[in-house]
């Protein structure tokens, strides 16, 4: 799930996943972090879900995927669209 907060010059996107699906550490990787795993690792929130927030420029389009333990790549069903194997979002 994606949560969005629009700011004056940027949009804060919070990537949210259930507590244990998939199990183990999960990172969001995309063109905004040069596809580097671990840069934006999801952390447990008070409600038990896992999330990480990334600030992106306003009026831009980005592609991303999630990377879980065991080299398991997956998409976000709530993304604005999909481009081949990547999820797409618009700020």
Q: pLDDT tens digit string along 5-19?
A: 999 999 999 999 999
Collect all residues with Cβ–Cβ distance below 8 Å to 12 and sequence separation of at least 6. Answer: 4, 5, 53, 54, 55, 56
Q: pLDDT tens digit string along 46-77?
A: 999 999 999 999 899 999 999 999 999 999 99
**Domains, the chain, ranges and CATH?**
2-90 (2.60.40.10)
Residue 57 near residue 13 (C-beta atoms within 8 A): no
Stretch 13-37: mean pLDDT, rounded? 96
- The predicted pLDDT at position 35 comes to 97
Residue 38 near residue 27 (C-beta atoms within 8 A): yes
- The predicted pLDDT at position 84 comes to 86
In the structure, what pLDDT confidence band is assigned to residue 89 with cuts at 50, 70 and 90?
A: very high
């Amino acid at each position: 799930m994606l949560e969005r907060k629009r700011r004056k010059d940027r949009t804060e996107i919070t990537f949210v996943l259930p507590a244990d699906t998939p199990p183990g550490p999960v990172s969001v990787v995309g063109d905004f972090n040069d596809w580097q795993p671990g840069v934006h690792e999801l952390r447990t929130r008070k409600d038990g879900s896992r999330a990480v927030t990334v600030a992106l420029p306003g009026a831009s389009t980005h592609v991303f995927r999630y990377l879980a333990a065991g080299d398991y790549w997956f998409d976000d069903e709530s993304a604005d669209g999909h481009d081949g194997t990547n999820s797409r979002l618009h700020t």
